Amino acid sequence: MAYDPKTMSDTKLQSIPEPARVDGDTPALRLFSLLEVIARKDQFFSLQSLVEETGLPKPTLHRMLQQLESAGMLQRDADGRFYGPGLRLRRLAEDLLLNNTVHGARHAVLRKLVEEVGESCNITALSGSEVLYLDRVETQAPLRFYLHPGSRVPAHCSASGKLFLAQMMPAQRRRLLDQVPLEKYTAQTITDFDALEREIESVKREGHAIDNEEFLPGLFCIAVLVPRPGGRSNTGIAIQAPVMRVSRDKALQFLPALKRAANAIAAIDAAAMPATRTAA
Amino acid sequence: MAYDPKTMSDTKLQSIPEPARVDGDTPALRLFSLLEVIARKDQFFSLQSLVEETGLPKPTLHRMLQQLESAGMLQRDADGRFYGPGLRLRRLAEDLLLNNTVHGARHAVLRKLVEEVGESCNITALSGSEVLYLDRVETQAPLRFYLHPGSRVPAHCSASGKLFLAQMMPAQRRRLLDQVPLEKYTAQTITDFDALEREIESVKREGHAIDNEEFLPGLFCIAVLVPRPGGRSNTGIAIQAPVMRVSRDKALQFLPALKRAANAIAAIDAAAMPATRTAA
DNA sequence: GTCATCGTTCCGATATATGGAACATGGCGT
DNA sequence: ACGCCATGTTCCATATATCGGAACGATGAC
């Protein structure tokens, strides 16, 4: 609140005023995108200010705001000059956060794990051909990698990614890897398909995967899958640390704690699943 | 939260299984409406279960979910059978609640007022021709009226409503009241236009308004406007109490506290407004 | 193997979004 | 009072997205 570059940029000299992309493949998604811009504001705003911020044509923006207002997602100030979030939008946000027991519980597990091992940890999922960070808790240690939830990394050079690959049928894995060739990020990155297959065999045997500076120099990572009874898992959990602090041996000592956390998350997810079949 | 008839009706005996309306005038609003249904869930759900819950055609729902998923608002379980809220939706919700300093601060003022006077209070706004409860804090007293934020009441028989009417030009007021004739809710409801005009004269003189069982039998209410420098106010603040506890005399004793609260809210709102004019 | 259930795709009719241009409003300076 | 500018609003021909019945596909139960 004290220092917001966006607000500051009203003194537009010749600086680029941050286009604040509002886009999407479909009108509805553009609306969401607009809401995201709005959600980040802590002040009311005028139509014109949004026009300048987003670059959208005025009539378009006018229609969008009107639509959101008539739906109760936004509210206008008394004289109709300024918009702010509306009752309905707030309630939607509250409902989401209140009922989202899954995320809260997962996060708690992650925090506990970080406390136990003293290194940053994250929960991951396979999205397309990339690994997506669903959640992350940072260690307190001063030396650390700063990566945030929502980041994406290639599957072939991350511990979680190898786990996801390892549970696929060979043909399926081949198809996926053919789309995005094995890019080399560091000296250690496995870029040869056969070498990767061998690595994956080892992952299958061990039940866990390791990334030894294969994506970022100096970053060591160990991961296991969150088990899913009777099916492939789409959730992994990983510990990430600077090689300076965590050798392979030390990482292996973390395994029991890591597996305990994975099981805890499996239990949470199971509880959030609809009963297999309710009497109709 | 303790007793909500809507939630209670889940015990479906032979009851109608709550169609869970998903509608809106425009496709985008239908999507929001769908999100609201989803936001209230604390479990993952399948396409089919939503079809049964909402009554929407399957392909339509399929497309909607797909759209939301590809935008990152929803996530699918590993085997693609169950949906839940996605990363992006959570972040949107968090941003909204985090940045909404206005609502939080307003709520705090309201809570303090309730503590001072010992009766339920609410913040109101004029929306169309009705008064909308923006926020409300209930008293602890066992005997009380249960009304919730989001409710709407007619302007002519509520204290806040009379305040909003009082600041309009006579012609504007006439136009508004002609749309929705003065409906009689109780024996005390003012249904005569001239009588209402006289009442409004008195409201102007006094600077506050009273509802003496004009909307609900047994409900007494006193309200003032949240002042807005140089313009009409669209925000009111009111104390509501059972006549058994609060006579007109007692209500007048609350006035100083009420006005203090109104000023506090005015200060908060002023801070949330964009600077009147930044050098362009 | 057969059936039932749920997810997915197709596609023409229909409804909606789009944004340039023009119009309306209101505050400000002269 | 008057015109001027910034901002909000409306129009409307065109481009685009949605709608949902029907048919198809995948999965699992028996």
A272 or A75: which carries more pLDDT confidence?
A: A75
pLDDT at B34 > cutoff 70: yes
Note the pLDDT tens digit of each residue in A198-216: 999 999 999 999 999 999 9
Tell me how far apart the alpha carbons of residues B36 and B156 are, in angstroms, rounded to a whole number.
32
Work out if B24's Cβ lies within 7 angstroms of strand D. no
Q: Cβ atoms within 10 A of the Cβ of A64, count?
A: 22
B27-39 vs B58-70: helix crossing angle, rounded to 10? 80
Contacts B233 to A, Cβ<8 Å:
78
Domains (ranges, CATH) in chain A? Answer: 5-96 (1.10.10.10), 100-272 (3.30.450.40)
- Using the CA of A30, give the nucleotide whose C1' is nearest: C17
How many A-B residue pairs are in contact by the CB < 8 A criterion?
147
Chain-centroid distance, C-alpha A101:
17
Question: pLDDT tens digits, residue range A97-151?
Answer: 767 767 878 888 999 999 999 999 999 987 767 888 888 999 988 888 888 887 8
Q: Best of B47, B87, B91, B126 to disrupt the A interface by mutation (most A CBs within 10 Å)?
A: B87
Residue A5 has pLDDT above 50, yes or no: no
Contacts of A274 (CB under 8 A, 6+ apart): B43, B44, B45, B46, B49, B82
A167 vs B61, more confident: B61
Residue A52, CB-side half-sphere exposure with 13 Å CA sphere = 12
Average pLDDT over residues A220-238: 86
- Asked if strand D contacts A55 at the CB level, meaning under 7 A, the answer is no
Average pLDDT of A80-90?
85
On the question of pLDDT at A274 being above 80, the answer is no
Per the model's pLDDT, the better-predicted residue between A227 and B13 turns out to be A227
More confident residue, B232 or A67: A67
Rounded distance in angstroms from the CA atom of residue B276 to the C1' atom of nucleotide D4 = 20
- Mutation target to probe the B interface, by most B beta carbons within 10 A, among A25, A70, A95 is A95
Evaluate whether A69 touches B107 at the Cβ level (below 8 Å): no
- Select from A26, A43, A234 the Cβ nearest to the Cβ of B67: A26
Q: Which residue has the higher pLDDT, B99 or A83?
A: A83
What DSSP line would sit under chain A, residue for residue? Answer: ----HHHHTTS-SS----------SSHHHHHHHHHHHHHT-SS-B-HHHHHHHH---HHHHHHHHHHHHHTTSEEE-TTS--EEE-HHHHHHHHHHHHH-HHHHHHHHHHHHHHHHH-SEEEEEEEETTEEEEEEEE--S-SS-----TT-EEEGGGSHHHHHHHHTS-HHHHHHHHHHS-----STT----HHHHHHHHHHHHHHS-EEEESSSSTTEEEEEEE---TTS---EEEEEEEETTT--HHHHHHHHHHHHHHHHHHHHHHHHHSPPS----
Check pLDDT > 70 for residue B1. Answer: no
CB B240 within 8 A of CB B147: yes
CB contact under 8 A, A28 and B31: yes
Return d(Cα A105, Cα B172) in angstroms, integer: 54
Q: How confident is the model at residue A256 (pLDDT cuts 50, 70, 90)?
A: very high
pLDDT for the residue numbered A19: 62
The answer to whether B200 and B165 are in contact (CB under 8 A) is yes
Name every chain B residue with its beta carbon within 8 A of the beta carbon of A88.
36
- What's the pLDDT band for B171 if we cut at 50, 70, 90? confident
pLDDT in tens, A23-36: 778 899 999 999 99
pLDDT at A241: 94
- pLDDT of residue B119 exceeding 70, the answer is yes
Residues 6 or more apart whose CB falls under 8 angstroms from that of B1 comprise none
DSSP codes joined into one string, B185-202: -STT----HHHHHHHHHH
| Predicted local confidence at residue B23, as pLDDT | 78
> Percentage of chain B surpassing pLDDT 90?
43
Nearest to A40 by CA among A54, A60, A25, A55: A54
The predicted-structure confidence for B121-152, as pLDDT tens digits, reads as follows 999 887 667 788 888 998 988 888 888 877 77
Helix (H, G, I), strand (E, B) or coil at B7: helix
Verify whether the Cβ–Cβ distance B100 to A85 is below 8 Å: yes
Given a contact cutoff of 8 angstroms between Cβ atoms, the answer to whether B119 and B139 are in contact is: yes
**B40 DSSP assignment:** T
**Cα distance between residue A161 and residue A259, in whole Å:** 17
Q: Residue B8 has what pLDDT? A: 35
Specify the pLDDT at position A170. 82
Q: What is the pTM for the complete model shown?
A: 0.71
pLDDT computed for residue B218 by the predictor: 93
Find the range with the poorest average confidence among A50-64, A74-88, B40-54. Answer: A74-88
Q: Which of A232, A219, A204, A221 has its CA nearest to residue A255?
A: A221
More confident residue, B55 or A274: B55
Q: How far is the CA of A64 from the C1' of C12 (A)?
A: 29
Angle at B225 between CA B221 and CA B227, to 5 degrees: 160
Distance (Å, rounded) from C-alpha B224 to C-alpha B236? Answer: 6
